[in-house]
Amino acid sequence: MSDGAMSDGHDALTGAEEAELDRRRRAWEDREDDQNRHDSVVSPLADGDERMIEGALRPKRLDDFVGQQRVREQLTLLLHSALRRGRPPDHVLLSGPPGLGKTTIAMIIAAELGAPLRITSGPAIERSGDLAAVLSTLQEGEVVFIDEIHRLARPAEEMLYLAMEDFRVDIVVGKGPGATAIPLDIAPFTLVGATTRAGLLPAPLRDRFGFTGHLDFYQPEELEIIVARSAGLLGVRIEDGGIEELSLRSRGTPRIANRLLRRVRDYAEVRADGLVTRELTRTALELYEVDELGLDRLDRAVLDALIRRFGGGPVGLSTLAVAVAEEAETVEVVAEPFLVRHGLLARTPRGRVATPAGWAHLGLTPPPSADLPTLFD
């Protein structure tokens, strides 16, 4: 990498981090006006300022992309075949939890094809006219990325069917009996759709994607490579022990790994000599309330309330939410998926139940009845 490119990258990172700092300062000042927002250091979601930092850390080519080996190999075949034929590749649908790299892959697809990238999101397209405005100005071979595509408005979704299949949209002119549909041809393009809830996609839309890739959570050794690369770009001095500790507490999510790296770097610069070691990483993450499994304050509060107050359950979601002073949706969407995935909590028809692993994580011995629920529970 040239000195100029490194300087530009450093300037971009510096500006992005300053914007994030301003955002966090405003959030701290306004915290009393927004008590229901769960702003966790291990949240897989990102705001606009953090996405600017992610943009500077993202790999630009498939060869540099770490993890998701099966999806990466399949995409390589798809893109190289399209380049040989001189035609746009099939439309691509990427599904999986937030923070795993769906947006990054969309950008890589455009880069590999040498094509412009048009980025939008499902909630931003409220009417079919909004989608028509995007599609009618496309150049041949351009890549269109629609994030959270399952949240498209129904009229726009129906227009997208025709656009994806026949590269044509119908523009309705007039109202009532005198309305007419004017067919408008659009340039062949590649649509990349991303969704965190593939089950909400209607079958007609899902069937129009020629390639579907599901992104899984990353292994610790893959996250170690990502953390080491990000540390190099951020100029963070970090030992192998620090890298390993960060990878184990990142919930299998690169976005969380990069965020924890920046927070630990801040701690190392203020409280130490700037070198990130294993012990320093543990101390810093203890300050940020992230334990050895990656559980944060809310996760532990849910697990603690379930076990200590309700004897391990079963407990209804609303009762559990009241016990931890959070909204039921926050508990269900933010805390439960990670606890269930790690086998610390189970959902049953009768309510939430703590597993023996959940009891053990709190250093408690489960009662004989704290076995996993059966099919008939």
Q: Rounded CA gap, 207 and 224, in Å?
A: 36
Cα distances from 54 to residues 12, 46, 158, in angstroms, run 10, 9, 33
Which amino acids are annotated catalytic?
A: 102-103, 147, 196, 255
Burial class, 155, CB count within 10 angstroms (exposed 0-12 / middle 13-18 / buried 19+): middle
Pairing between strand 143-147 and 275-276? unpaired
Query: What single string gives the DSSP state of each residue in 307-340?
Result: IIITTT--B-HHHHHHHTTS-HHHIIIIIHHHHH
Q: Rounded CA gap, 60 and 275, in Å?
A: 28
User: Which residue type does 301 have?
Assistant: A
**Cα distance from N-terminal residue to C-terminal residue, the chain:** 59
Q: Which residue has the tokens 């630009």?
A: 60
Q: Rounded CA gap, 231 and 290, in Å?
A: 20
- In three-state form (DSSP H/G/I as H, E/B as E, the rest C), the secondary structure along 174-236 is CCHHHCEEEEEECCCCEEEEEECCHHHCCHHHHCCCCEEEECCCCCHHHHHHHHHHHHHHHCC
Which residues lie across from 181 on neighbouring strands?
172
Helical residues (DSSP H) of the chain, grouped into ranges: 3-29, 48-57, 69-85, 102-113, 128-135, 154-166, 203-206, 220-234, 240-248, 254-271, 278-287, 297-304, 317-323, 328-330, 336-341, 356-361
**C-alpha closest to that of 223 among 254, 265, 184, 267:** 254
Burial class, 181, CB count within 10 angstroms (exposed 0-12 / middle 13-18 / buried 19+): exposed
